[in-house]
Amino acid sequence: MDEFNFYNSENDGYRGGFGDYTDPAPAQGAGQPSAPGQPPRRKRGWTRAAALILACAVAGAAAGVGGAALYQSAARPDTVIYQGERPQVETMVNSNNGQPMTPEQLYAANLPSCVGITVNTTVNIFGQTTTSAASGSGFVLTQDGYIVTNYHVIEEAVNDSSVDIQVSFANGDKYTAALVGGEQDNDVAVLKIEATGLQPVTLGDSSKLVVGEDVYAIGNPLGELTFTFTDGMVSALDRLITTTGTDPNTDSDVAITLNVLQTNCAINPGNSGGPLFDSYGNVVGIVSAKYTQSTSGVSAEGLGFALPINDVKSILSDLIEHGYVTGKPYLGIQVQAVDQQVQRYGIPAGAEVIYIAEGSCAQKAGLQLNDIITAIDGTAVDSPSALTAALSSDYKAGDTAALTVVRQQQEMTITVTFDEKNAQTEANNQLQQQQQQQTDNGYYFQWPFGHFSW
C-alpha cells in the first residue's frame, strides 16, 4: 500500500505566488463588527490528539447560528461560546424549523463568522529585507473578538512578537490580532481582535457525525479566492495522520500525529484554520490537512481532514482563560528511538532517555540517562512517538504511572507522578539542555525527526 505524504505548507495555509491577499467588495448583511479595528492588547491566555502537526493544504469554514450558551469565561460576560443541538441522523428532514438548512441559507447565515488571516513576516534574503505574507482562514468564536485558526497558520508569531497578524472579514473590515495562545500538539490557536458585536459560530457535536452525511466549508483558497464555499461529505471517522512540525524551542523537526475526520470537501492552500460544519450550521471540525500524493508519485484528490470539534473544545477554553492548555503531563525528559542495529543485539525497542531536567518528576522518580522506556502502565512503548501518544491521550498532570524501564539489560518498574507541561517547566528544561550542550561541546542527540520533549 502506498504511503501518502501531506502537502506541507511550512507554517501556514498559503505563502505567495498567486498575488497579494485581498478581500472582495464589502458584502451587505448583519453580524459584522460594529467598531473599526484597534491595535489589540495581548491577553493571557488536550483532548485526544497524540503529537503535533503543521497541517498542510487546508480548509476553512464559517459556522453556525442559534444554539444555547455552552460556557463563558469568568468575569467576561461577552465571551460566550455557543453549542447547538441536532436530532439523530434518522430524523433529518429538509426543513427550516430546527432542521438542516439549504446550502444557500447556510452560506448566507455563516459568512459573517468567517475570516481570512494574513501573517506578515520580514525575512532577509541575500542581504535584502523583504516582507512575506502567509494567508489562512479562521472563524469567530465569541462576539467580543476571539478568533480560532490553526497553530501552523500563525506559528511564526509564537516566538516573534514583531510578526503581524491581520484578520479580515467579508465586509472588508480588517483588524490587527494578538495571539492569545497556541496548542501545537493539536494544531489549534486562538487570536483576539478588539471588536464587539461580532457574529460567533455555534459549536456542534462531532461525536454524532456519521459517514456519508453532508458537510460544508468556507475558506480562502490560495489566499486570494476569498470566502469560497465548498461541499462534500464525511468520508471516514477517527483517522490518524502524521506529518512534521517545528519545535519552537530548537527549530528541529518533530513528528505530529492527530486524530481527524476525513472529508472530500475541496481543500487547498490558504484554507487552513477554517471550520467544517454540518447542515445545521454547527461547527463540527477545523479543517487542517490533505493528502497530495504517495511516495511513489501517485496523485491523490478529495482526501481532506479536519480536527473533530469535540477534541478541541476544552483546548479553546484553556487558551482563552490561561494562554496554554492546562493539565498536560510532563516528565522533563528528552528521548530518542533505539537504533535498529542495536536491537539486533537484544536491546529492546522503546524510548531511550537522553536528557533529564534537574528537579523534574522524572529525576525525582529515579529515571536515569540511557534508560529505555518500553511500557507505561502495561501499554507497550516501542518508539518515542508511542510514548508521546500514550501520554497525550491517557494522562493528566498529577496522575501517577508505572514506567517499565530497561537499564543495563535489566527490567525494572519506576513510578512517576507527572508534572504539568507549561511555560515554566519547558523553559527550565530548555535552559538546562542548552547548558548541557555547551558543556558537551555542542554534541546533540536526535532521533530522525528530532527529539521528543516530555
Catalytic residue among 12, 144, 187, 311: 187
pLDDT at 29: 43
366, pLDDT greater than 80: yes
Mean pLDDT of the region 197-216? 93
22, pLDDT greater than 60: no
Least confident range from 131-135, 220-224, 307-311: namely 131-135
Q: Which segments of 296-419 does DSSP mark as H helices, in order?
A: 313-321, 340-343, 361-365, 384-394
| Euclidean distance between CA atoms 331 and 150, whole angstroms | 26
Place domain 329-453 in its CATH homologous superfamily: PDZ domain (2.30.42.10)
272 catalytic residue (yes or no): yes
H helix and E strand count, the chain: 6, 26
pLDDT at 184: 85
DSSP annotation string for 145-157: SEEEE-GGGSGGG
Neighbours of 24 (CB within 10 A): 11
User: pLDDT per residue over 379-406, tens digit each?
Assistant: 999 988 788 878 877 788 999 999 999 9
CB 266 within 8 A of CB 59: yes
pLDDT at 272: 87
Average pLDDT, the chain: 75
Work out whether strand 128-140 and strand 282-294 pair parallel, antiparallel, or are unpaired.
unpaired
Quote the DSSP letter at residue 362: H
Terminal alpha carbon distance of the chain: 33
Q: Which residue has the cell 465569541?
A: 142
399 catalytic residue (yes or no): no
Mean pLDDT of the region 130-148? 87
CB 277 within 8 A of CB 216: yes
pLDDT at 48: 33
Q: Which residues contact 77 (CB under 8 A, 6 or more apart)?
A: none
187 catalytic residue (yes or no): yes
CB 255 within 8 A of CB 241: no
pLDDT at 216: 94
388 against 193, higher pLDDT: 193
Cell of 146: 476571539
| Euclidean distance between CA atoms 156 and 120, whole angstroms | 9
Backbone angles phi, psi at 146, to 5 degrees: -85, 130
pLDDT at 246: 66
Least confident range from 78-82, 180-184, 240-244, 430-434: namely 430-434
User: pLDDT per residue over 78-127, tens digit each?
Assistant: 777 777 766 554 433 333 456 789 899 999 999 999 999 999 877 777 76
pLDDT at 381: 93
Work out whether strand 164-169 and strand 228-246 pair parallel, antiparallel, or are unpaired.
unpaired
pLDDT at 231: 92
265, pLDDT greater than 80: yes
Burial classification of residue 152, based on how many CB atoms lie within 10 Å of its CB (0-12 exposed, 13-18 middle, 19 or more buried): buried
| Strand ranges, E, within 68-145 | 68-72, 80-83, 114-125, 128-140
CB 178 within 8 A of CB 164: no
CB 244 within 8 A of CB 108: no
pLDDT band per the 50, 70, 90 thresholds, residue 2: very low
User: pLDDT per residue over 30-58, tens digit each?
Assistant: 444 444 444 443 333 333 332 222 333 33
Mean pLDDT of the region 65-74? 42
Query: What is the three-class DSSP state of 104?
Result: helix
Pick the CATH number of 4-321 from 2.40.10.120, 3.40.50.740, 3.20.10.10, 3.40.50.970: 2.40.10.120
| Euclidean distance between CA atoms 126 and 237, whole angstroms | 46
Q: Which residue has the cell 489566499?
A: 223
Cell of 423: 511555560
| Euclidean distance between CA atoms 302 and 236, whole angstroms | 12
pLDDT at 403: 96
Backbone angles phi, psi at 388, to 5 degrees: -60, -45
Mean pLDDT of the region 333-354? 90
5, pLDDT greater than 70: no
Q: Which residues contact 139 (CB under 8 A, 6 or more apart)?
A: 60, 61, 62, 63, 113, 114, 115, 147, 148, 149, 201, 273, 274, 275, 283
pLDDT at 428: 67
186 against 148, higher pLDDT: 148
Strand partners, 119: 134, 165
Catalytic residue among 135, 144, 152, 383: 152
Q: What is the pTM of this model?
A: 0.67
Catalytic residue among 235, 272, 383, 385: 272
CB 71 within 8 A of CB 79: no
pLDDT at 212: 93
Work out whether strand 4-6 and strand 282-294 pair parallel, antiparallel, or are unpaired.
antiparallel
User: pLDDT per residue over 396-453, tens digit each?
Assistant: 899 999 999 999 989 999 999 999 887 777 776 665 555 555 444 433 333 323 344 4
66, pLDDT greater than 60: no
Q: Among the ranges 238-252, 287-301, 351-365, which has the highest mean pLDDT value? A: 351-365
Delimit the domains of the chain by residue range: 4-321, 329-453
pLDDT band per the 50, 70, 90 thresholds, residue 59: very low
